Structure 1
Amino acid sequence: MSDIKEEGFKTSDVLSTLAGVFDKMPESEKKNQIKKTNGIFQITVKNAQGKEATWVIDLKNEGKVSKGPTKKPDVTMNLSDDTFIQLADGKLNGQKAFMTGALKVKGNVMLATKLDGVLKGAKAKL
């Protein structure tokens, strides 16, 4: 999963772990997760140095995490590295992050709410 890692981003550790969870997931469980989520998330994160990196969580077709933008995301999210980590750790509510402007969402906003469940589910499998 080293192709997902991005130097200077704490987010890349979380997404690399998530990719590992997807890789180890039995095919039937992965299909179930894809059916339940049915979306492609594009996440653009800005770190403390102002550098940006983009990852894609595909839970519509393949059930995998990749680096770099995709042509047709269902939802695009822009946030800081620290905000993503707080969301992943469950220390920050996605709705609150959105309302305060810490999380910007384009596209299917309701789909964005499913990412929280995906992150929590992956954390439970660790």
Structure 2
Amino acid sequence: MSDLKQAGFQTGDILAQLNSAIQSFSDGEKKDLQKKTNTIFELQIKNKEGVEATWTIDVKNEPKIHKGAGTAKPGVTLIMADETFQALAGGKLDGQRAFMSGKLKTKGNMMLATKLDGVLKAAKAKAKL
């Protein structure tokens, strides 16, 4: 899944590992994840050089991650720095704390943003990251 990676971004590396984990889920695990989450997350990430990149985590149609904006409208768009996503994915930063401190901004249904943590945890457990 190297198509998720982008030079200058750690987010792509992390999402490639998470996508591999999600793809290794059984059909039942995928359906359970879809039932719990049922949304599309768009991540707009800015690296230290100020370059922006977008990834989409689709847990509504078929659980998978791809680079770029999705074809369907996201339930929530999360806007943050590359290092903020690294901290969120690594469990070193709580999403609510990131939002309250201004490190994470959202567009769309902000309540759906809380479901991203469940997706990250499920994938990390499967990948044993």
Corresponding residue for 1:96? 97
User: Please, which runs of 5 or more residues in structure 1 have no aligned partner?
Assistant: none
Q: CA deviation at 1:22?
A: 1.5
1:125 alignment partner, SS class: helix
Q: Could you tell me the TM-score, scaled by structure 2's length? A: 0.94
Q: Could you tell me the TM-score, scaled by structure 1's length? A: 0.96
**What number of residue pairs does the alignment pair up?**
126
RMSD over aligned Cα, in angstroms? 0.9
Runs of 4+, deviation exceeding 4 Å: none
Identity %: 57
Corresponding residue for 2:74? 73
Tell me the distance in 2 between the aligned counterparts of 1:26 and 1:116.
20
Tell me the distance in 2 between the aligned counterparts of 1:67 and 1:12.
8
Counterpart mapping for 1:1-126 below 5 A: 1-70=1-70, 71-126=72-127
1:30 alignment partner, SS class: helix
Paired AA for residue 3 in structure 1:
D
User: Which stretch shifts more, 24-33 or 38-47?
Assistant: 24-33
Paired AA for residue 39 in structure 1:
T
